[in-house]
Amino acid sequence: MSSHNNEEKFQEQRALVEAIIFASRGIDRQTIKNLIEIPDEELELIIKQIIEEYSSALHGIELKEIEGYLRFYTKSKFSSIVSKVAKRRNLGSLSPSQLEIAIFLAVRKQATKLEIDSMRGKDSTNIIKQLLVSGVIKRRKSGRTFVYSLTDTFKDESMIEELVRQAGGASFESIAKNIFEPEEQKDGA
């Protein structure tokens, strides 16, 4: 009877961990441990089981860990259909200069205006203002300068970080040309 109770408790913990990951927009192990009392080895076993379960063909989503954060994602083979119903910001609505800065920030996570200008080789004041107004980037004061980063909303709606990761990192020119341009433009149409 004791092993039955232990199994029930484990299954309940597993369901709770799954619910926490699902409800979050990315969560690390320490935050899960802060929310519920769970030993490290039990949490690792639960995460491993959830990853294995959702990797099967029976599920349209999968659990991934990216930069220490656990999150459920639509499987890539279903993304083109799911994107039609999911609220998703179209990267094609950004100008090439805006997209260049967004990709840079997706890779770097944050940068100063000087770093952005240096990467682009020219002044970015107006483009940064446009990105701030449209909710693509945010800024915070750090000493005497501002540090810019992508907003969580933009990251979620555009999935830009996932696209950059799938592209294998950032060669800024090739990513913008190869991934984010519509098919017609690639073919020269």
- Domain count of the chain? 2
The per-residue pLDDT for 39 is 92
73 lies in the same domain as 137? no
Residue 44: CATH number of its domain: 1.10.10.10
Is it the case that residue 11 has pLDDT exceeding 50? yes
What is the extent of the structural domain holding 60? 2-80
Please report whether residue 186 resides in a domain.
Answer: no
| pLDDT exceeds cutoff 70 at 90 | no
With tokens 């205006």, the residue in question is 113
Tell me: do 158 and 112 sit in the same domain. Answer: yes
pTM, to two decimals? 0.51
Same domain membership, residue 167 and residue 96: yes
More confident residue, 88 or 25: 25
In sequence order, what DSSP letters do the residues of 8-60 get, joined into one string? HHHHHHHHHHHHHHHHSSSB-HHHHHHHS---HHHHHHHHHHHHHHHTSTT-S
Task: Let me know whether 162 and 97 are in one domain.
Answer: yes
Judge if 74 and 96 occupy the same domain: no
User: With 0-12 CB in 10 A as exposed, 13-18 as middle and 19+ as buried, what is 153?
Assistant: middle
175 and 126 belong to one structural domain: yes
Question: Higher confidence at residue 152 or residue 45?
Answer: 45
Q: Rounded mean pLDDT of 59-71? A: 88
